[in-house]
Amino acid sequence: MKKQYLIYSLSIIFGIWISTLLHELGHAVAIWLFGGKVNYILPNLTFGVTGFTGSFSIWQETIIYAAGVIVNFIFGFIMLNTGKKTNYEGFFDVIGYCSIVLGYINLMPFFGDGALLAELWGFYPIMIIALILAMIGGILVVKDAQDKKYGGR
């Protein structure tokens, strides 16, 4: 039993770190695609920062700020589906859920990417988008849990 707790603990730590790194790389790719310069990427367990310079339109800034969250959702669902095809389902599930939760947290308009998006578009539109995505994500997570419980894969 102790080995299982160790594996889950390590998968949470690894899941948060790799999700943060991929999140910041999502921002970096969007910046590069729009001709900006990435000065640095600093991922750690509690937050990440991508420093950049460039001149962007409001739509380009929106894509840049949203790119990290989009990467979190894509990576999370890939991990959840990867776990179904391996003997390490629990490990991949934990990483997938860490990534998805990190994406939702970053989308909230109180801090991070959500706050930057709220500066561009206003608080309430971003909050409504975040809540809609949270509901969709919640439905998908519940469906995934039901599939695992009742064998509906």
pLDDT digits 0-9 by tens, 108-132: 888 888 889 888 888 878 788 878 8
99 or 146, which is more confident? Answer: 99
Position 34: which residue type?
A: F
Residue 70: pLDDT band by 50, 70, 90 thresholds?
Answer: very high
**Residues β-bridged to residue 50:** 41
Q: Give the range among 66-70, 83-87, 122-126 with minimum mean pLDDT.
A: 83-87
Rounded Cα distance, 79 and 93, in Å: 6
Distant-in-sequence, close-in-space partners of 144: CB < 8 Å, separation ≥ 6: 80
pLDDT digits 0-9 by tens, 16-39: 999 999 999 999 999 999 999 999
Rounded Cα distance, 39 and 149, in Å: 46
